[in-house]
Structures are given as C-alpha cells and as structure tokens.
Structure 1
Amino acid sequence: MQEVAGFFQNVMSLGSYIVLPILIFIIALILGTKIDKAFRSAILIGIALIGINLMTKFLGDNLGPAVKQMSQNAGLNLDILDVGWGAVAGAIWSTPMGVVGIPLILVFNIALIIFKLTKTLDIDIWNYHHIVTAGVLTYTATDSVVLGFLGMLLMAFVIFRLADWSAPIIQKFYHLPGISLPTNSALAPLIIAVPMNYFLDKIPFVRKSKLSFDSLQKYLGVFGEPAIMAIVIGLGIGLVAKYSVKNTLTLAMNLAAVMVILPKVISILMDGLSAIQASSKEFLEKHMKGREVFLGLDAAVAIGHPSVLTVSLILIPLAILIAAILPGNRMMPFADLTAITFRMILVVALVRGHVLKTLLIGIVIIAQILICGTITSPLITKVYLSLGNTLPNGIAGIASFSAGSLFTGFSVIQLLSFSITGLAISGVMWLLFFLLQKQEQAKAIKLAEAASDAE
C-alpha cells in the first residue's frame, strides 16, 4: 500500500493539467473514441485547465490585497486565520492517512459503481483532499484509526451521492451532459441551500421576484452586461478598500477581464469534452445496457458562468462584514475568499440564478462556514502544528473555507466524534435536506428545461 500511495503521489506531482488530460485520453479510448479525437479532447481539456488556473490566480492576486485592506480598515481582530485550502490540503497529504487516501478512495469509488451505489466516477483526484481531511480530522478528534478511515469512506460516499443528486441540475443549467461535479467545496452548500430554497419560496415577495442574473441586462441595459457589472463591483471594492484612483480603476478593469475571459476558457473545455460525451453514451448503451454513469470532474468547469462570478464578487466583500458582526465567529476570512466562487456553483444552478435567493443563501452559507471553521479550528491546527509548522504571531489557530468548515465534513466529524451539539445541528439540516431534496431537484430541473425551451 505504501508503494501504491507513493506512485499516486508521484503522479500528482506532475500537475492537474498534465495528469487529467492523460486520464481523459485513456478513458476516451476505453469508451471507444477514435485515437485522434481522444488526443484532441485531452489536449483541449489540458489547455482549458491551464486557462482556468491562470484566471482564478489572477482573480485572487487582484482581490487578495483589496480584501486585506478592507479587513484592516474594518479593524477586525479575529484570532483564527483563514490560511486557504492549499495550505490545509498540503498538511493533510503529509499525514500517514493522507498517504493512502488516493488509492483507497479510488478503489472505494469503483466498488460503489460496480454495486450500483453511485453513478459518479470521480477522476478529480486533487479534490480527494476534501475526503481525506474528514478522515484525518475525525482521527484527530477521536484518536481512533478505525473511526478515521470510517470518516474518510463515509465522506466519500456522501460526496458521490450528492454528485449523483446534483448531476441532472448541473447538466441542464451548465449544459454539461454526462458530467457530475464531485467537488465537496461546491456540493456542501447544498445541505443549506435546498431547505433555504424551499422556505424562501414560501415568502411571497421572494417567490414573486423573477429577477435573475441572466435577466439583469434586460433591466439594466449595458450596465447589466457581466463586464460592466464587474467594473461597478470593482469600483465599489476599491472605494471600500480606500484604494487610490489608479489602483481602483486597475482592479475594476482586471475583474472585468476575468468576467469576459473565463467563460471563453470554459468553452474550450466544453469543446474538448464533446467527443468523449458522445462516445460515453454509445459505450453505456452497448456494454452496460444503457446504465447511467457520470464522469466526475472538478467543479471548476462551471466556475466561469457569469452568474457565479457576479454573485461571488458581491459576496466576497460582504464576507468581511459577516465575519465582523457574526456572534461566536473567530475566523478571519482571507486566503480562501476568492474560493467563494466554488461555494456558489451549485447554489446558482439550484435556484437558476435567482438574484435574491442566491444572495440570501450565499450569506447564510458564509456564516455557516465561519462558525464551523471556528469550531473545527483546534483540530486542523493540531494537525498543522504536528507537522512542524508554526502559527503567525497573534494567531491562536488556523482554518480555511474547506476542511471542517464545509457542512458535509463538519457533519461527519461531529457524528463520529459523538459531539451532541454539533450532531443535533447537523441532524436537523440533513433531515430537512432529505425531506425536501426530491421536490427541489425536480423543481430545479423543470425550471432549467423551461429556460432551454424558451431559448
């Protein structure tokens, strides 16, 4: 197992934009895609991943300093630092449990598909860190290796099933046939969003509001175009950050550039996937009697949608305000603020870009992340320090917008560590999700189909 784990670690070191195209090429050949088309698809997908990484880094590089300045202007003095998912994932992969995580989860995923317990084949191995983190933090909380691995497998099962559930919604809304998104950072908000969407529809004012991000241009004219909206939001962020005129205008133009370029990068990805999707359909009909199997990709494939980018640019500065006034919060949002885009991908699809619903659900999700991050910070801090790291001066602990902050991972940890309060809160939210998930899924699909017919 140690040798197998070492092999996977060496493979991962090549980078996602190299390994994923290779995996796509192999899978495409297995599905019966002609070698030239499989090669073209793999190269285009690799190019798109590079473009997505460049644009998300560019977004972070521009928003990061502005967010830091806004925090300083607000006088926030919170003692748990959001160090970002990358730092947390790096710590998790360095643990003994992290070493065996990839091969174990991959074998578990294949077994679930064979026994028809999931439809998702998750080839997004970089985001396995979400699954491994649940296991590592469960072990840290309970000091039980058995419970740690149980937490890892339970987390994997939850993610695969949520990916199955959300697949019809994202396939309709983002036009991704045959795809699911088993990325926990995008899936976890559904446990909050599904019940909230149901109850928000009971409020007449919200229910009657038809304004969506897609329809803003109709009402706002040129100011409703994604690029112009990014300019306006960028000017607002620069104003709150007390930037100079030059820096404010630069920030605004850079945000507008992301809003225009990122969707074009996603179109390259979709071009690369088209040949594989056709072969996949033929393969399943021929060899699996038409059984449905989804190719599980990184949720980044949907990050370029204008509705996702727009709501994220609005919520990022709001996260600072929420952190400042939220009772019980000790977590300072920082490194992972631009990752709010991932938290909104499935929320936007669920409510079909409904402006008021998306913003209200987004605010609650950010509040949940901050509180759960505060509660689980001692666990991730213990793991972080055990690897020889040190904390910055004045900081009592670390957290991120992933790890135990996401509601799915938080729930698994609370369940297996037998935390009564956390278990009770998690139980209520999961119960509401299970009671409402079928009708909310059907409603989301119906809205998407109606929109497609209108187009």
Structure 2
Amino acid sequence: METIASYFKIIFDVGPNVVLPFFIFLFALALGTKASKAIRAAIFIAIALIGIKMVVAFMGDNLGPAMKALSKNSGLKLDVMDVGWGAVAAAIWATPMGAIGIPVLLIFNLVLLYFRVTKTLMVDIWNYHHLITAGVLTYYATDNVYLGFVGMMLAAFITWLTADWAAPFLQKFYGLPGISMPTLSSISELVIAAPINELLDRIPGVKNIRGNFDSVRKYLGLFGEPAVLAVIIGLVIGIMANYSIKDSLNLAMNLAAVMIILPKVVAILMEGLMPIQEASSEFLQKHLGGREILLGLDSAISIGHPSVLTAALILTPFVLVLAAILPGNQMLPFADITVIPFRIAFVVALVNGNVFRTLVIGAVVLIQVLLCGTVTSPVLTKIFLAVGGKMPEGAVGVASFSGGSLFVTYAIMQTLSFILSGVIISAVVFGLFLLVAKSQQRKAIQLMEEEEENTYAAIQNKSTPL
C-alpha cells in the first residue's frame, strides 16, 4: 500500500491542473471517445477549472482585504483564525494518511460502483483531500489509526451517496446532464439544508414565499443586472470597510467583472464535457444496458451561476455579523470568505433559486460552519502545528470554512470520538436528512409512475379506433 501511495504522491505532486485532465482523458478513452476528442475535452475542462480558480483568486484578492478592514473596524475579538482551505489541505496532504488515502478511496469508489451502491465515479482526485481530512481529524482526535480510516471511508460513503441523491436537481438547475458533484465542502451543506427546506415547506405563509433570483432581477430592471448588482454590493462592502471612494469603486468594478467572467469560463467547461457526455451515453447503452454512471467533478463548475454569486455577495458581510453575535463562536472569518459560493451553491439548486430560502438556509449553513469550526479547531490546530504550520499572530487556534467546519466531517469525528453531544446532534441531523431524502425519492418514483401511466393512456387512446 505504501508503494502504491508513493506513486500516487508523485502523480499528485504534479498538481490538480495536470492530474485531473489526465484522469478525464483516460476516462474518455475508456468510454470509447476518439483520442483527439478525448485530448481536446480534457484540455478544455482543465482550462475551465484553471480559469475558475483564477477568477475566484481574483475575487479573493479584492474581497479579502475589504473583509479584513471591515472586521478590524467592527472591533471583532475572535482568537480562532480562519487560515483558508488551502492551508488545511496542505497540512492534510503532509500527514502519512494523505497519500495513502488516494489509492484506498479510488479502489473503494470502484468497488461501490461495481456493486451498484453508488452511481458516482469521482474523477476529481484533488478533492479527495476533503474525505481524507475526516480520517486525519478522527485519527488525531482518537489516536487510533483504524478509526481514522473508518472516518475517511465513512466520509466517502456519505459523500457519494448524497451526490447520487442530489444529482437530479443539480443537473436540472445547472444544466449539467450526466454529472454529479461529490465535493464534500458543498455536499455537506445539503445535510443541513434539506431538512430546513422541508420545514419551510410546512410553515403557513412562509411556504408560499416565491421569487427566484431571475424574477427579482427582471423586477429590478437595470439594478437587477448581475454586473450592476455586483457594483452596488461592492460599494456597500467598500463603505462598510471604510474604503475611500476610489477604492470602493475599484472593488465594485472588480466584483462586477467576476460576476460576468465566471459564467463565461463555465461555458468553456461545458464545451469540454460535451463529447464525454455523448460517449458516456453511448457506452452505457451499449455495454451496461443503459445503467447510469455519473462523472463526479469539482463543485467549482456550479459557482459561476449568477444566482450563486449574487447570494454569496449578499451573505459575505453578513457572516461577520454572525461571527460577532453568535454565542459560542470563536472563529474569525478571513481567508475563506471567498469560498462562500461553494458552501451555498447546492442550496441554491435545492430551492430552485428561491431568494428567501437561499438566504435563510445560507445563514443557517454559515452558523453551522462557524460553530463546527470552533469545536474542531483544537484538533485541526494540533495537525497544523504537527506538520510545521505557523500560528497566525494573536490566534490561539486555526480553522477554515473547510475541514472540521463541514458538518459531515464534524459529525464523523465527534461520533467516532464518542463525544455524547456530538453523537446526539449528528444522529438528529442525519436522521432528519434521511427522512427527507427518502420522502423525496418516493415522490420522484410516484411522479415517474404517474408520467408512465399518462403516457401509456395517451398511447392507448390514440390507438383505439373511433
């Protein structure tokens, strides 16, 4: 296993911009795609993901300092520093479980596919680090390597099954047929979001609140245009950060650029996916009797949607208010401010772009991130220091909007550490989520059966002579 892990580490050290297109190229060839088309598809997908990261980094370069100034002006005194998902991922990969986790999870994924437990083939190797994080945190919390691997496998199992469940509404909302998005940093929020959405469906008055981001933009006219809306939000953030007029205007225009450029980059991704989707459909019909297999990609492909970006920009300053007033929170949002789109992208699709529900559920998700990040910070800090990380000035601990802040990771770590409060919270939340998921599956099956019956009746009526 260590030998296999060493080979995977060599491949992984090349970086995700090379590793991901390499695996996509192999996957495309396995589906019967011509080599020339497979190469083009892999390159276009890689270009799109690089472009998405560049635009998100650009947003971070502009939004990060503004949020830091806003935090300073508000006088927040929180001693657990958000060091960002990148620092956490680097720390996780530096642990012994880091490289070993890749081949273990890849084999586990193929076994589950073979036995039809999941339909998701996670080719997004880079984001395996979210799954491995659950294992490493569990290992450091329990000092038991076996429980560490159990935690990693549990995170993978939950992620892939939830990705299967979420695929239909994500495909429909984002226009991505044949795709699932098994990125734990986005998937995890559905465990919280789905029960809340079901609860909102049962509250008189609240359940009837309509209006998605598209309809709001149409109602607002010019002020509802994504770029104009981004300018307004950017100016508000600039003023709150005590920026000068010049700096506020520059921030506003840069955020407007992100709002327009990011969807264009996602369009490049779609161009790369087209031949793989076509080949996948033909392959499944020919060799697997039409059995569905979903290509598991990074949830980054969903964050370019204008509704996601609009909601994220609205929630960004709000998270600082939450951090300041939330009882029990010690986490200061900073480096991961720009990953809020990843935290809410699936929420937006779950509620079909409903503005009210997106903001309400998004706020609850951010509360969960802050509290879980605070609770798991001591263990994450231990890992961070063990691999040579340096503690930020004035901080007593580190956290991020990834790692232990994800509810699935928190739940696994708390449960396998036999912490009673964590076990109870996890059991309640997962129990509610499973009830909602089962209910929605039954409704989907019932709807499908009704459509088949209607189709059959229509055919019978058409064929019956007058």
Instruction: Specify the alignment match of 2:427 in structure 1.
Output: 427
**By how many angstroms is 1:37 displaced?**
1.7
2:195 match: secondary structure: helix
2:366 match: secondary structure: helix
Pairing 1:105-124 to 2, within 5 Å after superposition: 105-124=105-124
Partner amino acid for 2:238?
Answer: G
1:204 match: secondary structure: coil
> Is 2:341 the partner of 1:341?
yes
How far apart are the structure 2 equivalents of 1:178 and 1:373?
Answer: 33
**By how many angstroms is 1:73 displaced?**
0.7
Instruction: Specify the alignment match of 1:451 in structure 2.
Output: none
Closer/same/farther in 2, CA of residues 440 and 311 from structure 1, 3 Å limit: farther
**By how many angstroms is 1:393 displaced?**
3.1
> Is 2:328 the partner of 1:331?
no
How far apart are the structure 2 equivalents of 1:204 and 1:17?
Answer: 49
**By how many angstroms is 1:9 displaced?**
1.8
- Give the structure-2-normalised TM-score: 0.93
> Is 2:382 the partner of 1:382?
yes
How far apart are the structure 2 equivalents of 1:51 and 1:431?
Answer: 39
Instruction: Specify the alignment match of 2:99 in structure 1.
Output: 99
Deviation track 1:211-259 (CA, whole Å, cap 9, x = no partner) reads 1111112210111111111011001100100100000000000000000
Instruction: Specify the alignment match of 2:254 in structure 1.
Output: 254
Instruction: Specify the alignment match of 1:450 in structure 2.
Output: none
**By how many angstroms is 1:426 displaced?**
1.1
**By how many angstroms is 1:202 displaced?**
2.2
Contact 1:350 1:444 in 2 (8 A): no
Partner amino acid for 1:401?
Answer: F
Partner amino acid for 2:433?
Answer: F
Closer/same/farther in 2, CA of residues 170 and 201 from structure 1, 3 Å limit: same
Moved over 6 A (4+): 441-447
Deviation track 1:281-303 (CA, whole Å, cap 9, x = no partner) reads 11011111111110000000111
How far apart are the structure 1 equivalents of 2:65 and 2:59?
Answer: 11
**By how many angstroms is 1:440 displaced?**
4.3
Unaligned 5+ runs, structure 1: 448-455
Instruction: Specify the alignment match of 1:269 in structure 2.
Output: 269
**By how many angstroms is 1:388 displaced?**
2.7
Pairing 1:141-220 to 2, within 5 Å after superposition: 141-220=141-220
Partner amino acid for 2:435?
Answer: L
**By how many angstroms is 1:443 displaced?**
7.5
Instruction: Specify the alignment match of 1:237 in structure 2.
Output: 237
How far apart are the structure 1 equivalents of 2:389 and 2:254?
Answer: 35
1:247 match: secondary structure: helix
1:161 match: secondary structure: helix
Partner amino acid for 1:347?
Answer: V
How far apart are the structure 2 equivalents of 1:230 and 1:442?
Answer: 40
Partner amino acid for 1:5?
Answer: A
The count of corresponding residues between Structure 1 and Structure 2 is 447
How far apart are the structure 2 equivalents of 1:388 and 1:397?
Answer: 14
**By how many angstroms is 1:441 displaced?**
6.2
**By how many angstroms is 1:446 displaced?**
12
How far apart are the structure 2 equivalents of 1:126 and 1:370?
Answer: 25
Partner amino acid for 1:115?
Answer: F
How far apart are the structure 1 equivalents of 2:389 and 2:343?
Answer: 28
2:197 match: secondary structure: helix
- Give the structure-1-normalised TM-score: 0.96
Closer/same/farther in 2, CA of residues 308 and 253 from structure 1, 3 Å limit: same
How far apart are the structure 1 equivalents of 2:301 and 2:354?
Answer: 21
**By how many angstroms is 1:442 displaced?**
7.5
Deviation track 1:47-79 (CA, whole Å, cap 9, x = no partner) reads 111211110100110100000001001100101
How far apart are the structure 1 equivalents of 2:398 and 2:33?
Answer: 46
Pairwise CA RMSD: 1.6
Unaligned 5+ runs, structure 2: 448-466
